[in-house]
Amino acid sequence: MSRPPVRARAVTTARRVPPLPPVLRRLPPRRLRPLHTRSQPLQPRSCDGGSEGKAVEQLQSALNEHGASLAVDGKFGKLTHGAVKDFQRTHGVQLDGVVGPETRGALNGGAASISGGGTSAPAPAHSQQAIVDAARSQIGTSYSWGTSKPGVSFDCSGLSSYAYAQAGIDLPRTSSQQVAAGTTIPKSEAQPGDLAVWPGHLGIYAGGDTVIDAGRTPGAVTERTIWGNSTFVTFP
């Protein structure tokens, strides 16, 4: 008696993956952290500033006048940053590569312009009006950081130093030095020709509620209404 043919069975193999150890099973899934890049230090905004544009071009020109050899391209890159630090190192300014008030004052020659401890002789009434008239004569002149060029361009402290000079009064060049040289008074005691002051900015008080100032906005010397919480500085 013959046996029936044996059918071949398909043999399949499954690859078994060993389970994870208990310690690994308790670990939470890892999450990727976003990458962050560090940027170059930028100039602070007080009357001026920015990482690109005309203000940087003016900074580069000023650095070149002090011995740097920068391309005046309006870009605050590594070479400009290095030139700022070189300037700070040679002029005894805080070495941080940032163009703050102290560095701007040194670039503008503010320290050299201080005479007699930064104080001024008392201003008589006719001088006060001469200050206002001088500032008013420059209405419409363009705003430009670090300049004091009648009929061409001013920054805020450049306008005030120019206006006071027309009345025979010598003021320091930078806004912080001008404020420090004067006496802070309430608005009720302010007279036309005194300084109206905000953080990082100032103008010539014109009486009433108006001030004549050179500001980044609107980009020119204007006579406008006083805004915000200003203080007032006089030179008694």
Q: What's the whole-number mean pLDDT along residues 88-100?
A: 76
Q: Is 18 helix (H, G, I), strand (E, B) or coil?
A: coil
Q: How far apart are CA 84 and CA 41, in angstroms?
A: 11
**Is pLDDT above 60 for 116?**
no
- In this prediction, residue 125 has a pLDDT band, given cuts at 50, 70 and 90, of low
Q: How far apart are CA 226 and CA 190, in angstroms?
A: 13
Q: Among candidates 90, 96, 118, which has minimal Cα distance to 43?
A: 96
Which pLDDT score, from 0 to 100, does residue 9 have? 54
Structure tokens at 122: 């008392």
Which pLDDT score, from 0 to 100, does residue 61 have? 80
The CATH fold of domain 54-107: Muramoyl-pentapeptide Carboxypeptidase; domain 1 (1.10.101)
**Is pLDDT above 80 for 196?**
yes
Which pLDDT score, from 0 to 100, does residue 209 have? 95
Residues 130/141, Cβ–Cβ less than 8 Å: no
Which pLDDT score, from 0 to 100, does residue 35 have? 41
Sign of CA dihedral 11, 12, 14, 15: positive
Which pLDDT score, from 0 to 100, does residue 43 have? 36
Q: How far apart are CA 172 and CA 115, in angstroms?
A: 8
Structure tokens at 85: 């630090």
Lowest mean pLDDT among 16-30, 58-72, 148-162: 16-30
Residues 89/82, Cβ–Cβ less than 8 Å: no
Structure tokens at 86: 């070189």
Q: How far apart are CA 156 and CA 230, in angstroms?
A: 15
Which pLDDT score, from 0 to 100, does residue 20 have? 59
Q: How far apart are CA 56 and CA 230, in angstroms?
A: 28
pTM for this one?
0.51
Which residues, other chains included, contact 94 with Cβ-Cβ below 8 Å and sequence gap of 6+?
Answer: 88, 100, 102, 103
182 C-beta neighbours (distance < 10 Å), count: 21
Q: Where are the domains of the chain?
A: 54-107, 119-234
Which pLDDT score, from 0 to 100, does residue 124 have? 56
The CATH fold of domain 119-234: endopeptidase fold (from Nostoc punctiforme) (3.90.1720)
Q: What's the whole-number mean pLDDT along residues 189-208?
A: 95
Q: How far apart are CA 108 and CA 106, in angstroms?
A: 5
To the nearest whole percent, how much of the chain has pLDDT over 70? 69
E strands within 87-155?
Answer: 142-143, 148-149, 153-154
Which pLDDT score, from 0 to 100, does residue 57 have? 78
Residues 212/139, Cβ–Cβ less than 8 Å: yes
Q: Is 34 helix (H, G, I), strand (E, B) or coil?
A: coil
Chain length of the chain: 236
Lowest mean pLDDT among 96-105, 127-136, 184-193: 96-105
Q: What's the whole-number mean pLDDT along residues 215-227?
A: 92
